Amino acid sequence: MPEAGKPVYKRILLKLSGEALMGDDAYGINGAMLAGIVAEIRSVAELGVEIGVVIGGGNIFRGMAGASTGMDRATADYMGMLATVMNGMALSDALRQAGINSRVQSALSIEQVVEPYIRGKAIRYLEEGRIVVFAGGTGNPFFTTDTAAALRGSEIGAEIVLKATKVDGIYTADPKLDPQATRYTRISFDEAISRNLRIMDATAFALCRDQRLPINVFSIFKPGALKRVVAGEDEGTFVHV
């Protein structure tokens, strides 16, 4: 058993949805939510854990939903990638203000604003103790930021992908609709597939399974949850091979 409070992972990939930054707002970035996420990341970084973050863009792109009606899918996806760059910049700036070194790397080339994604450089930053925020998704339309998380996690040698959601794990049914629903503590990839549990999109899920890269689904809204996951405590749901 690991010592209480001590990390069981040296390098992690945190997947943050854009919606995690919204709070109760309809769209955009809620300052209190951003500060809370930075505090969670800081608590883990102080343990010496190397942290990569893949961030979504739904909170910003949601504000453009009306304009995107009938839009070509590839065009809409590229707009979503730009939204992730905005979120990445906001997160990096908030980390900087909290005294935490970070770098944003984008799969899209916007060198006046953020660095291009270079695997070797990202790994060096992690080894130096910097948070690396991966924006721009995979750089390709038709792929989600879940897939980007699985891809970047595999590339940088992360030991686990931590998917931060609004729910504190994976349940047998929707806990909002079924009070009898129970949380899975652990579940295998194969069992999750057989039970049709939609943990990530199919491409991301298959990549994690094939790379033997475990996933932990937890709530980013529970104070201290990220630190407990990294310490190997019973927090969220652990998905394994």
Strand partners, 185: none
Helices 145-156/202-210 angle, 10° precision: 20
Q: Which range has highest mean pLDDT (69-78, 89-98, 191-200)?
A: 89-98
**pLDDT of res. 6:** 84
User: What is the fold of 11-240?
Assistant: Carbamate kinase (3.40.1160)
| Least confident range of 54-63, 77-86, 222-231 | 54-63
pLDDT averaged over every residue in the chain:
92
Could you give the strand order of the β-sheet that contains 160-165, starting from the edge strand earlier in sequence? 115-116, 102-106, 131-135, 50-55, 11-16, 160-165, 215-219, 237-240, 186-188
Q: Which residues are annotated as a binding site?
A: 15-18, 57-58, 62, 77, 138-145, 165, 171, 174
Mean pLDDT value across residues 101-111? 96
Question: Which amino acid type is present at position 194?
Answer: S
| Least confident range of 13-27, 55-69, 93-107, 180-194 | 55-69
Residue with tokens 């019973």: 234
pLDDT in tens, 187-219: 999 999 999 888 899 999 999 999 999 999 999
Mean pLDDT value across residues 47-58? 96
**pLDDT of res. 160:** 98
Q: pLDDT band for 63, please (50, 70, 90 cuts).
A: low
**pLDDT of res. 70:** 76
Domain boundaries defined on the chain: 11-240
Q: Which residues are annotated as a binding site for UMP?
A: 57, 77, 138-145
Phi and psi at residue 233, in whole multiples of 5°?
-80, 170
Q: Which residues are annotated as a binding site for ATP?
A: 15-18, 58, 62, 165, 171, 174
**pLDDT exceeds cutoff 50 at 107:** yes
